[in-house]
A and B are shown apart, each in its own frame.
Chain A
Amino acid sequence: MSSIFADISQSEALRRGRRMLPPVVRGLFWAAIGFFIVNTLVSEVLDRTPLAPYVTKVSVTFGWTAATCGWLLGVGAWELVVKPYFGSPVEWDVPNDWRRYFMMSLDHKVVGIQYMVTSVAGFFIAGLAAMLMRFELMQGNLWTFPTPNAYLSTVGIHGTIMMFSFGTVMLVGGFGNYLIPLMIGSNSSAFPRVSAISQWLLPVGIVTVALSPILGTWTTGWRGYAPLAEQDPNGIVFYYLGVFAMTTSSLLVSINLTATILFQRAKGLTWNRIPMYAWGILAASLLNIIWLPEIQMTFILALLNNIVPLPMFSQIGTPLTYMEVFWLFGHPEVYIVVVPAFALWQEILPVMGQKTLFARSWGVLGLVFVMMFSGLVWAHHMFTNMRNDQMLPFSFFTEMISIPTGFAFLVSLGTVWKSRLRLTTPTLLVFMSMFNFLIGGVTGVMLADPVINLQTHDTFFVVGHFHYTIIGAMVFSFMAAAYYWLPRFSGRMYNEFWGKVGAIWVFIAFNAVFGQFLLIGLRGMNRWVPVYPKYLQNMNFEISLFAFLLGLGFLFNLVYYIWVWRYGKRVDANPWSAKTLEWQSTSAPGETNFDPPVQVLMGFYDYSDERPVCKPTSPAEVS
């Protein structure tokens, strides 16, 4: 396979000729040109209204689309996708250094790291928004933000960026792109150009949503509720556009990873040997493929509703129509977030215990059934708008979904049972994740009950519940995975003491914040309000202090992680003695994973069997 690619060690040969413009700079430049041309065309020629401002909400929609195309072409799609499509040779040389992360690349490991960095950047931007929210809520009056709308916009930016650029992306686009081809013994993802484009759409989405207040405030939160959105200033247009970029990114990743898992597996990697994480990614990707087009269509209708304008969701249809179609996607969304996290528990624990994964088939079944049930529960978000007899089936299925979720717990606990468990930082984080998700799950079963649901609707009890499920399960599992695979990514090992300090710091701060969210919700604290009654002042003040501690905890982990990546102690390949294929290759970004290709000889989770899991295929076997 390597014969058709340039030998990148010949860097002397590459240094000839005039220097190219940095692709990111060219992308920004082409985006600006695209916006200028199309915005002018729409606002001054096609949709000309005398005396109107230069940027209208119609022109900005088309201008943004052109800017996004310009950006994608500028960062590399022009040379990698468009020109080859029309028959030109590929003229895109990626230097063999840090520059490869700031230009379009076809290497799945480079794309994975680009995704991780972008996604973590989104996490910290949205985290900053959360810090601003907690700053505001330290006092019962409006003192940080100039207006209630500014506060609500910040809440919306926090939720939107967290969900669409981190929650659904980090484990799928980030770890998925890097690890899935490695784990299934492939040298590439199925559609490298698709994943390159999807990665470069993500920063567009984050920046668009983060800068949405430039066009005006919006008050709908990450759900974009219509017809409320019709009343919002133009910032809501950037919400729709940014979310469109991010969901398109996730959709393309899911298509690519599904195809990769289905068609790129190494010889001998049969269906019953597929690694747990690949199962998790497959389940989450199928959810993405089913539900993201649905919500994208809804958002496009809502955008047209706003800019044309159309009378949908008010005169045509009802406000409930929008809520139905939103939560039809919105609830599977949380399983897109959490299913890869369950898979991570089942990936990390057998390695740390060096013990065969307990009841593997039930683990897989759990992931798949969570995926299937997730489409049957959406209306529990709207019990306040329903009749009793409509609530019951949704209440039933919501409580049912805790059963396959329970499989993930039982498989993990059964694996730990009587194993020689190494209590490393990843193990600790997996246990923390299980503890947090248990609280998130139990409060979820409570909320599935109409009696409790109707009482706690729109209070901080609900906010506490979903932060327990999403941060509790997904973010803690993400941190576990990050420490677990750090030696694979960087060839360096963290220090157990500092790793555990980071884990415990975040765990304590997290529980102090969101445990109290549950309590303050029961005491009557409402969501979506920057001001609240006097009696909640003290508790809110103290929650905010813990929230800042939590923010600092995440920052500490980030700084420590980057430090280890650069300066940590070097470590041999496969320090955990793991059996999965990504540990059987030491390829760095830009290098071939398996040369020659490998043949898988057995499953990856049987630690009683000492034989090697794979062998290189002899050249004669490669057709």
Chain B
Amino acid sequence: MSDTPASRPTPRRNPEWSKTLFAVVFILVVIAAIVALFWQRQIGDAWSRMFGTERVQTGTTHIEQYDYGFHPRHITWRVGDKVTISLHNASATHWHEMMIGRGFDDTPYVVGPVHTQFDQDFWDGVHVTMSHAFKVDNFVPNKAIVTFVGQKPFTTEGGNFSPTLEPGGSLDLTFTVPNKPGTWQYGCFVQQFMHYVAGMHGTITILPAKT
């Protein structure tokens, strides 16, 4: 059997398609796939480092938590601006927290150190108002000075400033960006750092105050 079924005498198109076009598109797609597979996150981070600083966010910054990541992964604030983090756990199954800090507190483990939390807590000494708390599993204020508006969630101690949300939970944190310019990380360390390992972290760029 031939591979050309023909029920009409003359074709309307020339079937000898261009091999150059085929080769170029094929190679480009392969390269794009390999780049996306190995360097997707790095490229995304580099992109927002280059272009993200121009989009300073004021007012409310919505942060969605899902399995396992934050959306957005990059935030830019300016010292002295009054901002609100509106945090929402979009996962239907998992508990998530949000810490902000720098460096890591490590516990040694067989596969290398487990980062239990950030070494330096961004929230130290920051005046922050928590409102609209909904399905908050627990909240650790650490050294932040917290004012509660509305329902006060279960508050506990141990570790850095971190609200832990149940699936579908949400809350707002309103504060004036403290004078701590530079790059900060945020992440979820739930389930012994596994959420963080799976990609649940992001960066905050804090620009110096306008003079």
Contacts and interface: CB of A to CB of B under 8 A. Distances in A.
Nearest to A6: B6
Nearest to A591: B2
Given A22-B21, A28-B25, A142-B112, A17 B2 contact: no
B10 interface: yes
B33 interface: yes
Given A20-B14, A22-B18, A23-B17, A89 B8 contact: yes
Contacts of A5: 1-2, 4-6
A51 B71 contact: yes
A149 B192 CA distance: 13
A215 B197 CA distance: 14
Nearest to A19: B14
B16 A14 contact: yes
Contacts of A207: 33
B95 to A, nearest CB: 12
A621 interface: no
Given A1-B1, A24-B22, A24-B26, A91 B198 contact: no
A8 B198 contact: no
Given A19-B16, A530-B111, A53 B71 contact: yes
A607 B157 CA distance: 85
Contacts of A591: 2
Contacts of A105: 3
B11 A107 contact: no
Interface residues of A, number: 68
Nearest to B9: A13
B111 A531 contact: yes
Interface stretch (A94-102, A317-325, A442-450, A458-466): A94-102
B210 interface: no
B56 to A, nearest CB: 19
Contacts of A28: 25, 29
Given A94-B4, A108-B1, A188-B1, A233 B67 contact: yes
Contacts of A1: 1
A21 B28 CA distance: 16
Given A24-B22, A149-B197, A531 B3 contact: no
Interface string B39-79: 01000000000000000000000101011110100000000
B61 to A, nearest CB: 10
Nearest to A106: B3
Interface stretch (B86-94, B98-106, B120-128, B134-142): B86-94
Contacts of A524: none
A331 B87 CA distance: 46
Nearest to B16: A95
A25 B1 contact: no
B37 A211 contact: yes
B15 A20 contact: yes
B194 to A, nearest CB: 8
B15 A14 contact: yes
Contacts of B16: 14-15, 19, 95, 99
Interface string A1-33: 110111010000111111111111100100000
Contacts of A22: 17-19, 21-22, 25
A13 B3 contact: no
Contacts of B90: 49, 52
Contacts of B181: none
Contact of B2 (A8, A214, A309): A8
A444 B178 CA distance: 65
Interface string A80-96: 10000000011111111
A23 B6 CA distance: 18
Nearest to B198: A233
B7 A89 contact: yes
A585 interface: no
Contact of A17 (B13, B18, B71): B13
Contact of B5 (A92, A100, A102, A210): A92
B200 to A, nearest CB: 9
A531 B110 contact: yes
Interface in A517-546: 530-531
Interface in A494-535: 530-531
A213 B37 contact: yes
Contacts of A472: none
Contacts of B13: 17-20, 91, 93
A68 interface: no
B120 to A, nearest CB: 23
Contact of A99 (B2, B17, B36): B17
A25 B3 contact: no
Contact of A95 (B15, B66, B199): B15
Given A13-B10, A51-B64, A233-B199, A25 B5 contact: no
Given A15-B14, A148-B111, A149-B198, A589 B8 contact: no
Contacts of A20: 13-15, 17
Contacts of A309: 92-93
A239 to B, nearest CB: 15
A396 B47 CA distance: 61
B68 A17 contact: no
Contact of A91 (B11, B29, B64, B92): B11
A464 to B, nearest CB: 24
A592 B4 CA distance: 12
A110 interface: yes
A568 interface: no
B75 to A, nearest CB: 13
28 contacts: A5-B2, A5-B5, A18-B14, A19-B14, A19-B17, A20-B15, A22-B21, A25-B22, A28-B25, A49-B90, A51-B64, A51-B88, A52-B66, A53-B64, A89-B8, A91-B8, A93-B4, A93-B6, A94-B4, A94-B15, A108-B1, A149-B198, A211-B33, A234-B67, A531-B111, A589-B3, A590-B3, A593-B1
- Top 9 A-B pairs ranked by shortest CB distance? A6-B6, A107-B3, A93-B15, A22-B22, A105-B3, A5-B2, A22-B17, A188-B1, A20-B13
